[in-house]
Structure 1
Amino acid sequence: MNLKISFFLLILVFFHAGSNAQSLRLKVENKSKIPIANALISSKNKIIGTTNSAGEASVLSSQIAGSTVLISAEKYQPLSYVFSNLQEKNVIRIILESENELQEVVVTAGRKQENIATIPSSVTIMNQKEIQVQSSINTNLSSILGNVIPGLGTTTNKATNSGQTLRGRQVLVLIDGIPQSTPLMNGSRDIRVVDANAIERIEVIKGATSIYGNGSGGGIINYITKKSPRVDSFEGTTTVGTTFNPIHSKETFGYRVSQFFNGRKDKFSYVIGGAFDYIGLQRDAKGRPLGQTDGLSNSSQVNAFVKLGYDIDEHTNFNVVYNFYKSTQNADYISQTGVYGQTPTIGVPGKEPGKNAGTPFNHNFMFTFSKNNLFKTTQLDVSAYLNSFQSMNRYVAAATAWYGPGQTMINSLKNGTRINLNTPFTIVSMPSEITYGIDVLNDVTFQDLVDGRVYIPKMDMLNIAPYAQLKVDVLENLIFKGGIRYENATVRVDDYNTIASGPGNQGSIFVEGGKIPYNATMFNAGLRFNKYELFNPFVSFSQAFAINELGRILRSAEESTIASLATDPIITNNYEAGLSSKFYNFNITAAYYISTSKLGANLVEVDGRLVAQREPEKIKGYEITLDYRFSDKLNLGGSYSYVDGKAEFDDGKTVYLNGSRIAPPKATGFITYKPASDWNLQLSWVNTGCRDRFKPNTNGRYNNSEGPVSTVNLLNFAGSYAFNKNWSVNLGVENLLNNSYYTTLSQYRAVNADYVMGNGISTSLNLRYKF
């Protein structure tokens, strides 16, 4: 009898254990009902299952935290799935969307995650896949962005991005929201500040916006760095490669090494990595070494990156980020100056005196804290950051701005704090939210010669800016966004002497320093209607604030006190209308804009020096992009952008803004073909149109940046082959047809030393290992 009772109790125990270990059966498919193999199923950062070749997996209900799992698979959008019944016995079908069907999420436009279809402004996003394709052709971010982003000037093929404006105005560059640009004195080295392998995505917000403060009259470029995985894992990517000119290969060989690790263990996550990139001698299509003025030949780029995160609980986390970047040139050639319009400036053997030009260092450190339930559903994000940056200009034997030879360097130290909150609520049954907070920024910028002479005195700016942004779903699918930001800035400058232009301190004057106050209220408002994919239009008005190149005004002072100088800021107004449309596999975006400012910053040549022209400006232009996906194997697309601008004088006379501000029309095109799942091939085309706005001066030459521009056509190729899930090889060819051309900058600059031809054909071959 006791034996029977014991056996019965044992059966009950097994039954009870089995009931607690209820299995749920999942089947993961795409929209075409094709099973997805090797999809990871995780809960609370723990992998609890993997789908088989039939897309099926069984998971224990006891391992599912909060009735929620995350399903992720390569080439598909991760999906968070909530179970309504953890005792379900039927097969649960789960559909994943492919990468090509993703609705892009933007964080830069409003400091929070927003669907791109809800934002009333022009936004371009480059995802990691697109960045990898473009960086296999050229790792220079100026080239990558110039070849892809409508409205942004094409690359100069130099270490600087001088003249590479966005919609005819200066752009503010960020890394995870940390400002990299130096608007108090633009050094034009802010686009090349991080290695492409450290970037998860690039968000470009076009048109005036004050959301991140000083210097964004043309828009914002925000590099979003790599993120750690969502589940417990350890991953890594190793890249080694070489670059060379296959036709004129002598001394052109370069090499590249990159290693990144990322992972997660319980509540701790990390991304750690670095890259080294050496560029060999660059030659034009005829094999001649390129002129070395701010060139990239024999330059080295170093990047080190660390991101550490910790999840305090499911609502709270913090991150610590450090990024170091260095890019300097140690050329074995010097420039042999040509004649503008006749013969190019080329490189000849020799060593440039002075220190290596480039970016000796760019340090970025940031601490962020986030809590998504501060007050019920209020999201709090706090970040504190520091940016220490130095730009070393090239040595010159003689200059018009100072006496004798010299070499200048721009130093900038920025530290700031951003407190950002977002609270959703309802107004008369209308879903709404308000984003509000305060920014505090201290920016200290100055420019000295390496021999100790002061070129631009130290400018110490403290900027405190509270802001608020309201979003309301006025009607179903009609979204209103409007906001206000108050800029309260003070720039302190000590007494200084302008730099001497002759012997015996000739031309130097004493200037009494002081404080320069700036106060301005910025507004923005926009509407977007997103009910139909076929017609998703928007209209918007936005403003931006810029203390634009105050250093240029201070160094050219002809008055004895700062109070006597014209240091007023530039307030930019941007009016825009645009749309996006999707019809089956056809996508199109279009925008038309007008950008005005009562004060300008066009640099014009006066007695051999560049002086800011402060007359009112009006810039207008339009952009269009389109692509058509014929199938999963074939995709075709392109873009066209046009911008023009004028300055208006008191007597009503208008003059065109010069080439340093206004880029010629730009057209791009691409065709992507995947003959098999392990192949990816892309042929891309970049065209910069012609522009001839100015006449030669009385001396028979063009003033600085007023030269005519002829059409340039370049064809690039990128291809990749995956041997397996770990190993792949990438081949990139820049200037595939070895076209002989002068860069846009060398044409409009109209300066002998800058009359440099573009790079000839260049091949990049990279081997990648992922684990």
Structure 2
Amino acid sequence: MRFTIVLLFISVFSVAVKAQSIKGRIIDEQDQPVPDASITIKGSFIGAVSDREGLFKISLKQPGTYTIIVQSVGYQPNEQVIDVQNSEAATSFTLVRAAGSLKEVTVTASRKAEVVDRTPASVQVVNEKQLQTQLLVSPNLSNILGQIVPSLAYSSNATSNTGQTLRGRTPLILIDGIPQSTPLRNGARDFRTIDPSVLQRVEVIKGATAVYGNGADGGVINYITLQPQTAKKFNAYSSIARTGMLAHADGTGGFRLNQHFTGKAGKIDYAVAGLYEKTGEYKDAKGGIISPVYGLGETDIVNVFSKLGINLNDKNRIEVMYNYFGSGQKSKYIQQIGKYGVTPTIGVEGETKGEKEGTRYNHNAYVKFLSKKLFLNSTLETSVYGQKFYTVYGWSASFENGGQSTIRSDKKGVRSTINTPWSIGNSIRNEVLYGVDYMNDVTWQELTDGRIWVPKMDMNNLAPFVQLHSTIKDHWIFKAGYRLDQVKIDIPSFTQIKTSTTTGGKLINGGKLDFTASTFNFGLRYAKWELFKPFASFTQGFSMVDIGHYARGAKENDIANMNLEPIIANNYEVGFSSSVNKVSLNIAAFASTSKLGSTLIENNGFFEQQRAPERIYGIEGSIDVASIKSFLFGVGGVYMEGKADLNKNGNYDDAADAYLTGRRITAPKVTTYVKYVPNNRVLVHAEWLYSGDRKRFQPKTNGTYTFGEGPVNSYGIVNLSASYKTKKDIHFFGGIENLLNKDYYAAYAQWYAMNDYYIKSNGIRFNAGIGLKW
């Protein structure tokens, strides 16, 4: 009898436990539902995502008091404390629309979640809504980021991101923390290594950073992939779009197919996505075929993505991610060389030599373990990752008997971070992040016929680090850190490839390189007033010289005699953010110096590295205004300049010194937008993109310009996009690039100052399609 009573009590208690939950609804200021909002219980992995009516439900194991955090892209976070007893607790959240991105959360800047406007540095988050809006016009990530991030140079409108620098230096590109850049031999194809349809957001750290290692002297751009939606066991989204030119449309038709699946079943959540795109011919405003070399036209693109998470319990989680990206161009056109400053280089019908140009594959994968509430309430995040990259460039007659170059890179690594909080009294809260990064990178460049242009360079990079984050009396935010990169590179002997001018054929003796780079960072922000949150920071970043590019044309016979010292960039920055009512403002002045920079220059028809002290400085800013309920508008821009101290006397204004070329320094840049959002179903977005003049160099005696020194003339283009979602979850969308069909050369084509790169940009292009949630 006693056993029966106990069993009955346990059964009743179990039913009561199962019945405990929190349910509610997420709405905005206009009482409209907010779908896809993230609802989480603070300090755990338990959470849900709101459905299309803004509804959610979270099941709990036991009663108690819980802190609930609600976040959604484009809105300020909302936090509530809810007391849950032996029944269902009901609540609602009203989200206030953020004027800009100041309330966005970044994990890249400090390897932990923190609000952007409480970070003592310039950090920008390109959220999912911004990505989706830009995706209506162009799926090219180089275009998207060039339009949204003020201090990032405009896109080259090509497969190469050569010259697309961030504050005058090359950024480190990551996918979920996995390095995409190949600093040992920079092939400038790291921007377009994933399709934006599988991204949750992009986090941009501007200027040098010591938080990450090799390649971060120009900052970091981290592509954060999709997170699973956990409100239901199964969610799906399908879309199809037609693309092409609106003028001179013959042969330009293409399409995009996109499929997403996501959901949660028990302790397992998942996200799976696939993308296939086929582009037609790309034409300029007058109907000329844009050169197929490095071109975006007549290309097949495939992206396959999957992410699986297992919540072992409330404190521990395992996550696995895999992404494949590949592209291949099959063109019926060949390049017809124009004349720089006179006639464009175009495509004419002909048979392309060699193999398809494009990125054959870019595989990225990680296994991540996350654990909360360890010793001293510490958290642990450890990720084991791998990347395999293979890209093919166009056939070139510059090699002896012609040839086609490729770059391969295989990376394996581990990132492990522990975050330990501790306090001093009631007024100082601290967090110490510490851990280690290890990466092995094997990169080489060969021709498709097997000739070695750059041998297999084998790099091992071990880097312990520590970061202190302190909040003093809730208003002062202080950050300081140190990182020690220990780099060993093994380079085998090789023979330089012969060119069509019979140069090359020289034996280069290999060797082992050993570098140690200590980098520091510290910053301070005062965040008491929303109206004015000033900050100042000093950060250092470290990057290897492009060893492969240097060695393949080096005058020295031995690796040991080459000037391959790494770059240490010192970045100084002061600025402030402001958010009042529905206006947000960001302004930052910056300067970046390096005792030994690296700039690619032309010397008698050959490219070589210019090693000299460098100084870059500038100012950037953005303002976003939600003027009335349905309208938002904003302006962003940057001005920067840079010089090299060629005689190395500490003075940058001597006659012997020189401005940095257009490959490094972008012309003044302004972007503006107007957005109409009357409700969560309608969006109309218009933007104007302007690139100013930059004319710092004189022509040579024959009237031509040296590589990178071409004068840049101003231009501006207008883009337009719109979308509409029905109550039955049908999504109609469309976008127009270069709405006014402007005939122009992008800055890249102008400063490059070479006949074969003097290529016009797109004329008026469209993207129109339909999507369905089911």
Q: TM-score, normalised by structure 1?
A: 0.92
2:508 to 511, 523, 530: 511
Give the corresponding residue for 2:173: 173
Say if 1:150 and 1:623, in contact at 8 Å, map to a contact too: yes
Residues 1:756 and 2:759 aligned together: yes
Distance 2:750 2:29 in 1: 52
- Give the whole-Å Cα distance in 2 for the aligned partners of 1:585 and 1:69: 27
Cα distance between partner residues in 2 of 1:671 and 1:473 = 37
Q: Show the counterpart of 1:717.
A: 720
Deviation, structure 1 residue 720: 0.4
Q: Which amino acid aligns with 2:484?
A: Y
Deviations 1:651-675 (A, max 9, x none): 6532001111111011000000134
Contact map agreement 1:574 1:594 (CA 8 A) in 2: yes
Residue 499 of structure 1, CA deviation: 2.0
Matched ranges for 1:627-646 at <5 A: 627-646=624-643
The question of whether the paired residues in 2 share the 8 Å contact of 1:152 and 1:166 is answered with: yes
User: Partner of 1:365 in structure 2?
Assistant: 365
Q: Is the 8 A contact 1:642 1:666 kept in 2?
A: yes
Shift of the alpha carbon at 1:480? 0.8
| CA–CA distance in structure 2, aligned partners of residues 203 and 17 of structure 1 | 44
Cα distance in 1 between the residues matched to 2:699 and 2:377? 63
* Mapped partners of 1:303, 1:283: distance in 2: 25
Distance 2:30 2:765 in 1: 43
Asked whether 1:494 is paired with 2:492, we answer yes
1:83 corresponds to = 82
Contact 1:237-1:259 at 8 Å conserved across structures? yes
AA in 2 matched with 1:187: G
Is the aligned partner of 1:183 residue 2:172? no
Which residue in 2 is equivalent to 1:9? Answer: none
Asked if structure 2 preserves the Cα contact closer than 8 Å seen for 1:509 and 1:558, the reply is no
CA distance in 1, matches of 2:182, 2:231: 39
- The match for 1:3 is none
* Secondary structure of 1:132 counterpart: helix
Corresponding position: 1:727 with 2:750: no
**Could you tell me how far apart the structure 1 residues matched to 2:460 and 2:98 are?**
44
Q: Residues 69 and 61 of structure 1: is their aligned pair in 2 closer, same or farther, counting only changes over 3 Å?
A: farther
2:603 to 597, 603, 606: 606
Secondary structure at the aligned position of 2:145 is classed as helix
Answer yes or no: is the 8 Å Cα contact 1:142–1:192 preserved in 2.
Answer: yes
Where do 5+ consecutive residues of structure 2 fail to align?
1-8
Per mean C-alpha deviation after superposition, the further-off stretch among 261-270 and 672-681 is 672-681
What pairs with 1:420-435 in structure 2 (closer than 5 Å)? 420-427=417-424, 429=426, 430-435=428-433
Q: How does 1:56-95 map to 2 (within 5 A)?
A: 66-68=64-66, 81-84=80-83, 86=85, 94-95=92-93
- Please tell me the residue identity of whatever aligns with 1:317: R
More off after superposition, 454-463 vs 223-232:
223-232
Which residue does 1:140 correspond to in 2?
Answer: 140
> Which sits farther off after the overlay, 340-349 or 757-766?
340-349
Q: Distance in 2 between matches of 1:45 and 1:668?
A: 39
**Cα distance per residue 1:328-363 (max 9 Å; x no partner):** 211111111111111111111112101111111111
Cα offset, 1:559, TM superposition: 2.5
For residue 631 of structure 1, report the CA deviation from its aligned partner: 2.1
Q: Is the 2:34–2:680 Cα contact (8 Å) retained in structure 1?
A: no
User: What is the distance in 1 between the residues matched to 2:170 and 2:50?
Assistant: 49
* CA deviation after TM superposition for structure 1 residue 372, in Å: 1.1
Residue matched to 1:469? 467
Q: Where in structure 2 are the equivalents of 1:360-509 lying within 5 Å?
A: 360-397=360-397, 399=398, 402-427=399-424, 429=426, 430-501=428-499, 507-509=504-506
Equivalent-residue separation in structure 2 for 1:694 and 1:51 (angstroms): 57
Cα contact 2:20–2:84 (8 A) shared by 1: no
Name the CA shift for 1:472/1:613 in 2 (closer, same or farther; >3 Å). Answer: same
Shift of 1:87: 6.9
Cα 1:642–1:563 shift into 2, 3 Å: same
* Cα distance in 2 between the residues matched to 1:568 and 1:705: 23
**1:223 aligns to what SS in structure 2?**
strand
The structure-2 alpha-carbon separation of the partners of 1:31 and 1:153, relative to structure 1 and needing over 3 Å to count, comes to: closer
Aligned pair count reads: 753
More displaced stretch, 244-253 vs 69-78: 69-78
Residues 154-553 of structure 1 aligned to structure 2 (within 5 Å): 154-397=154-397, 399=398, 402-427=399-424, 429=426, 430-501=428-499, 507-553=504-550
Distance in 1 of aligned mates of 2:519 and 2:707: 34
Q: Which amino acid in the other structure matches residue 551 of structure 1?
A: G
| Pair 1:727–1:738, CA change in 2 (3 A) | same
Structure 2 vs 1, CA of residues 48 and 63 (structure 1 numbering), >3 Å: closer, same or farther? farther
Cα separation, partners in 2 of 1:128 and 1:47, compared to 1, 3 Å = closer
Deviation at 1:560, TM superposition (A): 2.7
- Structure 1 partner of 2:5: none
**Counterpart of 2:750 in 1: which secondary structure?**
helix
For 1:570 and 1:93, locate their aligned partners in 2 and report how far apart those are by CA, in whole Å.
Answer: 54
Quick one: distance in 2 between partners of 1:544 and 1:554?
23
| Partner Cα distance (1:576, 1:23) in 2 | 50
Whether the aligned pair in 2 keeps the contact of 1:30 and 1:98 (CA below 8 Å) is no
Relative distance call for 1:265 and 1:18 in structure 2 (3 A) is closer
Q: Which residue of 2 aligns with 1:662?
A: 665
Instruction: Rate the CA distance shift 1:29–1:492 in 2: closer, same or farther, 3 A.
Output: closer
Structure 2 match to 1:594: 591
- Work out the percentage of aligned pairs sharing the same amino acid: 37
What is the identity, as a one-letter code, of the residue corresponding to 1:151?
S
TM-score, normalised relative to structure 2: 0.91
Given that 2:22 and 2:58 are in contact with CA atoms closer than 8 Å, whether structure 1 keeps it comes out as no
Q: Is the Cα–Cα contact under 8 Å of residues 45 and 231 in structure 1 kept in the other structure?
A: no
| One-letter code aligned to 2:220 | I
Deviation string for 1:471-517 (max 9, x for gaps)? Answer: 112344111100000010011111222223469x8642222221101
Amino acid at match of 1:694: F
CA distance in 1, matches of 2:738, 2:219: 29
Specify the SS of the correspondent of 1:109: coil
Q: Quick check: 2:158–2:296 contact (8 Å CA) kept in 1?
A: yes
Amino acid at match of 2:766: T
Change over 3 Å in CA distance of 1:98–1:291 after alignment to 2: same
Give the C-alpha shift of residue 81 in structure 1: 4.9
1:205 to partner: Cα distance? 0.7
Q: CA RMSD in A?
A: 3.1
User: Which is greater in Rg?
Assistant: 1
Segment of structure 1 superposing worse, 377-386 or 41-50: 41-50
8 Å CA contact retained: 1:309, 1:320: yes
Measure, in 2, the Cα distance between the counterparts of 1:290 and 1:31.
46
Alpha-carbon distance between aligned partners in 2 of 1:240 and 1:274, rounded to the nearest angstrom: 12
Q: Secondary structure at the match of 2:560?
A: helix
User: CA shift at 1:122, angstroms?
Assistant: 0.7
Partner of 2:742: 739
Q: Distance in 1 between matches of 2:632 and 2:715?
A: 25
Q: Is the 8 A contact 1:157 1:758 kept in 2?
A: yes
In the TM superposition, residue 239 of structure 1 has moved relative to its aligned partner by: 1.2
Letter in 1 for 2:616: I
Segment drifting more, 38-47 vs 341-350 = 38-47
Contact conserved, 2:66 with 2:84, CA < 8 A, in 1? no
Corresponding residue for residue 4 of structure 2: none
Gaps of 5+ in 1: 1-11
Distance 1:187 1:506, change over 3 A: closer
**Pair 1:433–1:395, CA change in 2 (3 A):** same
CA distance in 1, matches of 2:35, 2:541: 48
Call closer, same or farther: CA 1:73–1:237 in 2, change over 3 Å.
farther
Alignment of 1:651-730 (within 5 A): 652=654, 653-675=656-678, 677-730=680-733
The residue type paired with residue 697 of structure 1 is K
2-side partners of 1:60 and 1:100: how far apart? 26
Q: In structure 1, what residue type is equivalent to 2:190?
A: D
Return closer, same or farther for 1:634/1:591 CA change in 2, 3 Å cut-off: same
- Taking a change above 3 Å as real, the CA distance of residues 381 and 457 of structure 1, as seen in their structure-2 partners, is same
Give the corresponding residue for 2:112.
112
